[in-house]
A and B are shown apart, each in its own frame.
Chain A
């Protein structure tokens, strides 16, 4: 196998839904008519405006249409050029942000059918996350159960900012279903914009909105740990996607320190939070918020305290690095193979079934 990282597993690529028209064949008659008569031509998350450079690298943008919309380009650029053995598709289309839970459920289902037919059937190296509408947890579970028999779906996709914190019990049936089927929960950057994107209201600028995603991930980790999700579902793995990871050491120190003083409030958390995080949480490589000097990166990775947490990703077609440098400068050479292959295989039981 050729490529710069041959045999690697890319845990985050983004095929784009070109527009509502592409999903029409996968909607039932009622919803097809609704979409057409109401003139709903497309959805998108405010977190990912397609015109922003970071959301489509110049040389990865097709001449026409959205970045990530072209299978041939994805094949050549995301798979072939890297020598990728398998890549996990995380389509972002705004389904999670709809206020109508029935429409969201219908669209989630359509997206998964579209993914299977238009991408997975045509490219055997691709895998995908199951899109669900967490607005209606019961229907979300039904969609997981329906999809789970297709082993090319390897994870369940949620957003970093939705209706409510992800540890809350309203989400637990989703975790039970994910655990039952051996599907990690992937939490991708992005907001439904049902709440402000910071803890103190709406920021003025995109840069604030973007950088504050890390805070949202921190809030979700605190919620998942302290509500007891990993105690209740010990087989559950959560993958943070596009979260960055260099904030983890300071965050885990803070979580541990606080837990020691107030742990009686959450006695089911009977180990330091960082231990639960190291056991249950995985993080994709890109974007890396790397320190200015390459030498410090190894130190930060060391401070995370586990070589099992990082999963290779290019985040294709998002723009976080130049050329083929998905591994940032200073990334420890000895860790690469683990991040490229071993960690993804250990994280996604369904990948292991077909790739080993």
Chain B
């Protein structure tokens, strides 16, 4: 397991995502209201490119005909068959205990720390003025 520098924080503003390949794995990095989450771009159902799906809200209901909408943009809907996943936990809505997408640890590190290492940052020229998103893979 190594810590990979994947983006500058300005590259992924709230609501945005970046898809990249880290250590041979396709990963999507999401910014949800200033917090970053990294998910494997592979739906546990049948392998759809989950991280390319739309971000939607959480829909629940207290009674038939009533729609309780919350957490806008925090659920990821698989583009293949529409299963929903919580970006924060990787859990599927329909079967949260058994169907989960792999989640990776993300942190934000200042440029100085990144410059000092040990980080994997093949594709980056690290500058000390910037903050960086680091994913552990």
B-binding residues in A (CB < 8 A): 227-229, 231-232, 259-264, 267-268, 270, 272
For A271, the closest partner residue in chain B by CB is B94
Contacts of A270 in B (CB 8 A): 60-61
Question: For the complex, is B104 an interface residue (Cβ under 8 Å from A)?
Answer: no
Q: Mark B49-67, 1 if CB is under 8 A from A, else 0.
A: 0000000100111111111
Contacts of A264 in B (CB 8 A): 56, 59, 84
Interface residues of B in 36-84 (CB under 8 A from A): 56, 59-68, 81-84
For B81, the closest partner residue in chain A by CB is A261
Whether the pair B64, A232 counts as a contact (CB closer than 8 A) is yes
Contacts of A231 in B (CB 8 A): 63-64
Question: For the complex, is B119 an interface residue (Cβ under 8 Å from A)?
Answer: no
Contacts of A232 in B (CB 8 A): 63-64
Alpha-carbon distance between A84 and B64 when the two chains are bound, in angstroms: 41
Q: 7 A-B Cβ contacts within 8 A?
A: A231-B63, A232-B63, A263-B93, A264-B59, A267-B61, A268-B63, A268-B66
Given contacts A229-B64, A268-B61, A270-B61, 6 further A-B contacts (CB under 8 A): A260-B95, A264-B56, A267-B60, A268-B62, A268-B63, A268-B65
For B94, the closest partner residue in chain A by CB is A260
Partner of A260, one of B56, B65, B66, B83: B83
Residue among B56, B64, B83 with most chain A CB within 10 A: B64
Alpha-carbon distance between A241 and B11 when the two chains are bound, in angstroms: 62
A260 and B82 in contact, given A267-B68, A272-B94 (Cβ under 8 angstroms): yes
Contacts of A260 in B (CB 8 A): 81-83, 94-95
Q: Could you tell me the distance in whole angstroms from the C-beta of A335 to the nearest C-beta in chain B?
A: 28
For A272, the closest partner residue in chain B by CB is B94
Alpha-carbon distance between A260 and B68 when the two chains are bound, in angstroms: 18
Q: Could you tell me the distance in whole angstroms from the C-beta of A235 to the nearest C-beta in chain B?
A: 15
Q: Could you tell me the distance in whole angstroms from the C-beta of A244 to the nearest C-beta in chain B?
A: 28
Alpha-carbon distance between A259 and B68 when the two chains are bound, in angstroms: 18
For B56, the closest partner residue in chain A by CB is A264
Contacts of B59 in A (CB 8 A): 264, 267
Q: Could you tell me the distance in whole angstroms from the C-beta of B58 to the nearest C-beta in chain A?
A: 9
Whether the pair B64, A228 counts as a contact (CB closer than 8 A) is yes
Whether the pair B64, A268 counts as a contact (CB closer than 8 A) is yes
Alpha-carbon distance between A229 and B64 when the two chains are bound, in angstroms: 8
For B82, the closest partner residue in chain A by CB is A261
Whether the pair A259, B63 counts as a contact (CB closer than 8 A) is no
Contacts of B60 in A (CB 8 A): 267, 270
For B75, the closest partner residue in chain A by CB is A264
Alpha-carbon distance between A231 and B82 when the two chains are bound, in angstroms: 24
Whether the pair B94, A263 counts as a contact (CB closer than 8 A) is yes
Which 10 residue pairs spanning A and B have beta carbons closest together?
A228-B64, A261-B82, A267-B61, A268-B61, A264-B59, A267-B59, A268-B64, A260-B94, A261-B81, A267-B60
Residue among A228, A259, A262 with most chain B CB within 10 A: A228
Contacts of A228 in B (CB 8 A): 63-65
Alpha-carbon distance between A260 and B93 when the two chains are bound, in angstroms: 8
Interface residues of B in 79-97 (CB under 8 A from A): 81-84, 93-95
Contacts of A259 in B (CB 8 A): 94
Whether the pair B83, A261 counts as a contact (CB closer than 8 A) is yes
Alpha-carbon distance between A261 and B82 when the two chains are bound, in angstroms: 4
Q: Could you tell me the distance in whole angstroms from the C-beta of B71 to the nearest C-beta in chain A?
A: 13
Q: Could you tell me the distance in whole angstroms from the C-beta of A170 to the nearest C-beta in chain B?
A: 14
Alpha-carbon distance between A245 and B36 when the two chains are bound, in angstroms: 49
For B78, the closest partner residue in chain A by CB is A261
Alpha-carbon distance between A264 and B83 when the two chains are bound, in angstroms: 10
